[in-house]
Amino acid sequence: LSQTWASYDQQTVLRSPFFPVLFSLTVYLSCCLPYACLDLLCSSVTLFRRFKIQPQRKVTWVMAWRCLRKIFHNHVCFLLPLSVMHWYWKPVVSPPLAPDVPSVVRDVLACLLLFDMQYFLWHLLHHKVPWLYHSFHKEHHLNTATFSLTTEYTGVWEMLSLSFFSMLNPALLNCHPLTEMFFFITNIYLSVEAHSGYEFPWSPHNLVPFGLYGGAQHHDLHHLKFKVNYAPYFTHWDRLFGTLREEKTQNEE
């Protein structure tokens, strides 16, 4: 990773206050693009349709555009000003050395586990307290059949809360900036995959053993049933709280 970090460290544009928002938006849209193409351009192709969790639900261009408007609005009006403020108060400091691969893997996994716990508790609270649900979280549940672009179709409070958790954890663990970037990429991808509405043989849910990871099927069921499967990624918190629900989808029956 030394060459990667040396190249990164020489790019002054990456120290810009605008970089975190552009980076986040670029990674997010890049992760959404393959799934969006499947939904909008290949929805009738049997080869792909058989992997869709709710094949009877069709994604339209109007639905996609509504999500994109919300995403750009949140990034430009809220995340961008916060990014500039953070850059002003705490300028980017680049360590001279890159982290080794084992430490990157360890820290990314630790950040994911922390985020999973934080979001589970936040999510559970916002479903158990009616005022919180109707005021801040209901907007995300307007789509009972998720697709990739609904991942960040949220209100301002939810977006800021999850952004805070994702920025807090690398700071708590004193992660290297390069590790932080890998965590952001992984976190965004897993979140998009969980909302994608597709269950492929290579999906994380099918690669992680012992049912430790929920994935798209796990989260799709949450949008259908509302009171189950609150954790974004892993299943241990739902098991502990008795909120885990596993159910075959229509295309598996």
pLDDT for position 253: 42
Task: Write the DSSP string, 56-93.
Answer: TPPP-HHHHHHHHHHHHHHIIIIIHHHHHHHHHHS---
**Surface-to-core class of residue 48, CB atoms within 10 Å of its CB (0-12 exposed, 13-18 middle, 19+ buried):** middle
CB atoms within 10 A of CB 147: 28
pLDDT of residue 250: 46
Mean pLDDT calculated for residue range 214-230: 94
* pLDDT tens readout for residues 192-202: 999 999 999 99
- With a pLDDT cut of 70, the percent of the chain lying above it is 90
pLDDT value of residue 6: 60
Q: Is the pLDDT of residue 54 over 80?
A: yes
Least confident of 86-90, 106-110, 225-229: 86-90
What is the CA 61 to chain-centroid distance, rounded?
22
Which amino acid is located at 8 in the chain?
Y
What pLDDT is attached to residue 94? 72
| Tokens linked to 253 | 């029956």
Q: Using the predicted structure, report yes or no on whether residue 191 has a pLDDT greater than 50.
A: yes
10 Å Cβ neighbour count for 250? 11
What mean pLDDT is predicted for residues 48-56?
91
> pTM of the predicted model, to two decimals?
0.91
CA distances from 139 to 115, 150, 227 (A): 21, 10, 16
Tens of pLDDT, residue by residue over 112-125, are 999 999 999 999 99
Bigger pLDDT: 91 vs 226: 226
User: Which residue matches tokens 């009972």?
Assistant: 144
pLDDT surpasses 70 at 12: no
